Amino acid sequence: MAEFYLDETLVFLQMTGTREEMLREMAENLVKENLVEASFVSGIIEREKEYPTGLPTASSISVAIPHTDIEHVKKNAISIALLQEPAAFQVMGEASMVTPVSIIFMLAMQQSHAQLRLLRDLMNFFQDETTLQVLYESKTKEDVVKLIDRKLSLSASKGGDR
C-alpha cells in the first residue's frame, strides 16, 4: 500500500494570499521539508493553470487538489491549507467555471496508480459535508492531522533520510 506523509509542518491555518501565492507557499514548504524536488513548485503552478483542480462539493466548502508529475516528488505526502477567505479556483475540467475554495489538499505523489486507496478515501471525504466542515473549523494543526489521519489511510513516517 502506498503511504502518505502528513504532519503538522505540512498544515497551514488561516492561509491568505492569491491562489498562486498560496500554492507557492505550500509547495516551497514541501521542498523545505525535503519531500519534493525544487521543480515541484513550478510544476504545481503550471499544472494548475493548464489543468485546474478546483472541486465544488455537496457542501458550501469547495476544495482544490493541486498535484503534478511524479518526477518532481521524493516521497508521497499531503499538505493541507485552510484558507482564511475562500479563493477562486477554476473548476476541474471546465473552461470558465470558478469555485470558491476553502481548503487546499496539495498532493505529492511519487508513483502512479499506487495510491488508489488514499485517493478514494479523499474523494469520500469530500462527499462528507459534516467532516469537511469540522476540518475547516479546526483550530490547531494537530486537530487537522488527527482528523485526516482518522479519515484517510495515511500511515507513513518520514523515514530516516532527513
Partner 1 sequence: MAKKQVLVACGAGIATSTVVNSAIEEMAKEHKIDVNLIQIKIAEVNAYVDTADLLVTTAMVKTSYPFPVINARSFLTGIGLEETKDQILDELKK
Sheet holding 54-55, edge to edge: 11-15, 77-90, 98-108, 62-64, 54-55
Q: Which span sits near partner 1 by CB under 8 A: 7-15, 64-72, 77-85, 153-161?
A: 64-72
- Position 41 contacts partner 1 (CB under 8 A): no
Q: In this complex, which beta carbon is closest to partner 1, that of residue 16 or of residue 124? A: 124
Q: What's the closest the beta carbon of residue 157 comes to partner 1, in angstroms?
A: 23
User: How is residue 48 written as a grid cell?
Assistant: 494548475
Q: Which span sits near partner 1 by CB under 8 A: 27-35, 87-95, 135-143, 146-154?
A: 87-95
**Count of CB atoms within 10 A of residue 47's CB?**
17
Q: Within 13 Å, how many C-alpha atoms sit on residue 119's CB side?
A: 14
CA dist list (Å): 10 to 27, 30, 47, 137, 158: 10, 7, 20, 17, 12
- Position 76 contacts partner 1 (CB under 8 A): no
Q: How many residues bind partner 1 (CB under 8 A)?
A: 29
Q: Which listed residue (42, 123, 134, 142) binds partner 1 by CB under 8 A?
A: 123
Q: In this complex, which beta carbon is closest to partner 1, that of residue 51 or of residue 134? A: 51
CA distance 36 to 108: 7
- Position 157 contacts partner 1 (CB under 8 A): no
CA distance 12 to 29: 10
Which residues form the interface with partner 1 (CB under 8 A)?
47, 50-51, 53, 55-58, 65, 67-70, 91-95, 107, 109, 112-113, 115-116, 119-120, 123, 126-127
